[in-house]
């Protein structure tokens, strides 16, 4: 399979992923920068999306697999003690996520979630970001 990204972009992506001591949001931010996608952070929108890509009308959330119950993900396994507490807590997060996405959609935004575990595969996240932003671009050539 041909490499999707040229050499310098590839090394930017790899740097973004391997930079130490950064959380999932920072990784995602570095990816957006390496792809030269303009974004803003912490706009005043429902649910405070992590990234806003106005040109694509896209609100982006970076979700921790555990806190937002990533379906089928091993990182989302609940602790074996205090089960009732965790079930309630995580369930509350999920309900809130749904409400937020709904509110954003009603306000005319598209929404997307980048799961923390998927950031390990920077290429696939980068491709997805490019697809998401192309699809929503307002001014098509
Ligand atoms: Zn996950």
Where in the chain are the domains? 7-136
Q: What are phi and psi of 21, to 5 degrees?
A: 70, 25
CA gap 125, 57 in Å, rounded: 18
Q: How far is CA 65 from CA 19, 75, 92, in A?
A: 20, 6, 14
pLDDT of residue 114: 96
What spacing in Å lies between the alpha carbon of 24 and ligand 1's midpoint? 11
Q: What are phi and psi of 109, to 5 degrees?
A: -100, 150
What spacing in Å lies between the alpha carbon of 121 and ligand 1's midpoint? 12
What spacing in Å lies between the alpha carbon of 23 and ligand 1's midpoint? 14
Which parts of the chain are beta strand (E)? Answer: 51-53, 58-63, 110-115
As a whole number, the mean pLDDT across the chain is 87
What spacing in Å lies between the alpha carbon of 138 and ligand 1's midpoint? 31
What spacing in Å lies between the alpha carbon of 139 and ligand 1's midpoint? 34
pLDDT of residue 30: 94
Q: What CATH topology corresponds to 7-136?
A: Endonuclease; Chain A (3.40.960)
Q: Is the pLDDT of residue 14 over 70?
A: no
């Amino acid at each position: 399979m041909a490499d999707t990204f040229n050499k310098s972009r590839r090394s930017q992506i790899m740097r973004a992923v391997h930079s130490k001591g950064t959380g999932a949001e920072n990784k995602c931010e570095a990816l957006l920068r390496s792809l030269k996608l303009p974004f803003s952070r912490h706009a005043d929108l429902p649910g405070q999306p992590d990234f806003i890509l106005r040109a694509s009308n896209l609100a982006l959330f970076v979700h921790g697999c555990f806190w937002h119950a990533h379906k089928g993900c091993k990182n989302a396994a609940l602790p074996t003690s205090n089960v009732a507490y965790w079930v309630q807590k995580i369930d509350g997060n999920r309900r809130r996520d749904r409400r937020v996405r709904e509110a954003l959609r009603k306000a005319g935004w598209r929404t997307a979630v980048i799961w923390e575990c998927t950031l390990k595969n920077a290429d696939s996240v980068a491709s997805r970001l490019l697809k998401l932003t192309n699809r929503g671009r307002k001014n098509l050539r």
